[in-house]
């Protein structure tokens, strides 16, 4: 009998690779765990998880022999780490392999917003270019000021890219970094006040809930832009929507939302917002690397080897 379950919205090829490696039981949704017969459930030692649905005590109760949750994704905010730790369940994630993709998307969101590329594309497609002439003039992207909220691995990749765009770099982080020429701020409001565009690259979870507060949004101001590629939970979304609708914030480029994929429909009506469907890590190559790292962690656990990328 298998001792592995693969739970989540895996692509077909990812599912096939998991089958080849572990012959696991496959569940599309975490909630289906309760329908698995108790004999199988109680024999599960490892779960390969892909999803953002909370994995907490109630789910862990269903799998008493569980020793590992291998998360597909760098962000593990869906998993109750304290609860896992208390039960001796190890947790792994898939860091680093997605840094470039996520940073690329952050830059893309920023450029699309500043250069109004969505509207400009529509201008051309709708035939206005030929009929009415050139598109309106837009805001320059390069040579401005950028703030990185959370200069971790992904934040650093974003900042390095922005430096190539001749941007002045400001950041907040748990500790000041060795980054000559970049300006450290302890306070997110001070950071937002100092920059034109604020990139959110924080981890998710309770400690960063609403880190982009109403005050941060106000400090960014009517010419400022917010780019978020981290988690929707890091932003006070009600304050964000109000500020965007009233023109108290210049615009936003968002890959992540509260309640995604069923996002607040108010976003669809705001022309200054560029929306992406949480696809930061979504290239073929990066997803293959993430899936492999997840499988390698499961294999290491089953063989009793050191985990490759442990969280706890
Ligand atoms: C998701 C992500 O894991 O790595 C993360 O933290 O947010 C994404 O890469 C991906 O959407 C699969 O759920």
* Domain extents in the chain: 4-97+284-303, 99-275
- In this predicted structure, the answer to whether residue 248 has a pLDDT above a threshold of 80 is yes
Question: Same CATH fold, 99-275 and 4-97+284-303?
Answer: yes
- Nearest Cα residue to 311 out of 41, 70, 129: 70
- Region 123-134: mean pLDDT is 98
Residues 18-38: tens digit of each pLDDT: 999 999 999 999 999 999 999
* pTM (whole model) above 0.90: yes
Q: Give the mean pLDDT of the chain.
A: 98
Q: Is 162 helix (H, G, I), strand (E, B) or coil?
A: helix
Q: Ligand 1 pocket, 72 CB below 6 A?
A: yes
Report ipTM for this prediction. Answer: 0.96
Q: Is domain 4-97+284-303 annotated with CATH 3.40.50.720?
A: yes
Residue 233 to residue 184: CA distance in whole angstroms? 24
Q: Ligand 1 pocket, 243 CB below 6 A?
A: no
- Known catalytic residue at 278: yes
Catalytic residue among 15, 156, 193, 231: 231
- In this predicted structure, the answer to whether residue 1 has a pLDDT above a threshold of 90 is no
- Model pLDDT, residue 216: 98
Domain 99-275: assigned CATH number? 3.40.50.720
The residue ranking higher by pLDDT, 1 or 155, is 155
Nearest CA to ligand 1 atom 8: 73
Q: How would you classify residue 309: left for phi > 0, otherwise alpha for psi between -120 and 50, otherwise beta?
A: beta
Q: What percent of the chain has pLDDT over 70?
A: 100
Could you tell me the pLDDT band of residue 2, with boundaries at 50, 70 and 90? confident
- Model pLDDT, residue 278: 98
Q: Ligand 1 pocket, 78 CB below 6 A?
A: no
Q: What angle, rounded to 10 degrees, do the helices at 117-125 and 99-114 form? A: 60
Q: Ligand 1 pocket, 204 CB below 6 A?
A: no
DSSP assignment of 8-32? E---HHHHHHHHHHH--EEESSGGG
- Known catalytic residue at 13: no
Could you tell me the pLDDT band of residue 182, with boundaries at 50, 70 and 90? very high
- In this predicted structure, the answer to whether residue 228 has a pLDDT above a threshold of 90 is yes
Catalytic residue among 118, 176, 218, 260: 260
- Model pLDDT, residue 35: 97
Strand order in the sheet with 4-8: 25-27, 4-8, 46-50, 68-71, 90-92
Residue 106 to residue 231: CA distance in whole angstroms? 13
- Dig out the tokens for 126 from the structure: 């709708």
Q: Ligand 1 pocket, 281 CB below 6 A?
A: yes
- Region 86-102: mean pLDDT is 98
- Model pLDDT, residue 53: 96
- Nearest Cα residue to 203 out of 233, 183, 225: 233
Residue 294 to residue 309: CA distance in whole angstroms? 9
- In this predicted structure, the answer to whether residue 161 has a pLDDT above a threshold of 90 is yes
- Known catalytic residue at 178: no
- Model pLDDT, residue 4: 98
Q: Is 217 helix (H, G, I), strand (E, B) or coil?
A: helix
């Amino acid at each position: 009998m298998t001792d592995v379950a693969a739970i989540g919205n895996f692509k077909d090829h990812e599912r096939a690779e998991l089958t080849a490696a572990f012959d696991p039981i496959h569940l599309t949704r975490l909630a289906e765990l309760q329908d698995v017969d108790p004999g199988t459930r109680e024999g599960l030692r490892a779960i390969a998880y892909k999803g953002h649905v909370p994995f907490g005590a109630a789910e862990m109760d269903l799998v008493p022999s569980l020793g590992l949750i291998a998360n597909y994704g760098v962000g593990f905010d869906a998993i109750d780490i304290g609860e896992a730790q208390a039960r001796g369940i190890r947790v792994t994630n898939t860091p680093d392999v997605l840094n470039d993709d996520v940073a690329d998307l952050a830059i893309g969101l920023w450029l699309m917003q500043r250069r109004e590329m969505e509207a400009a594309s529509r201008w051309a497609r709708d035939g206005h270019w030929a009929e009415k002439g050139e598109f309106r003039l837009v805001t320059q992207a390069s040579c401005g000021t950028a703030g990185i909220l959370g200069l971790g691995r992904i934040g650093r990749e974003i900042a390095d890219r922005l430096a190539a765009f001749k941007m002045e770099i400001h950041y907040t982080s748990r500790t000041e970094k060795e980054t000559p020429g970049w300006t450290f701020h302890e306070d997110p409001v001070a950071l937002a006040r100092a920059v034109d565009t604020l990139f959110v690259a924080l981890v998710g979870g309770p400690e960063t809930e609403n880190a982009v507060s109403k005050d941060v949004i106000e400090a960014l101001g009517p010419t400022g832009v917010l780019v978020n590629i981290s988690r929707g939970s890091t932003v006070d979304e009600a304050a964000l929507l109000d500020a965007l609708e009233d023109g108290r914030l210049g615009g936003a480029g968002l890959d992540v939302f509260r309640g995604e994929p069923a996002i607040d429909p108010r976003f669809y009506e705001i022309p200054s917002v560029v929306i992406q469907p949480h696809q930061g890590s979504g290239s073929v190559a990066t997803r293959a690397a993430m899936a492999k790292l997840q499988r390698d962690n499961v294999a290491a656990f089953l063989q009793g080897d050191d985990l490759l990328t442990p969280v706890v």
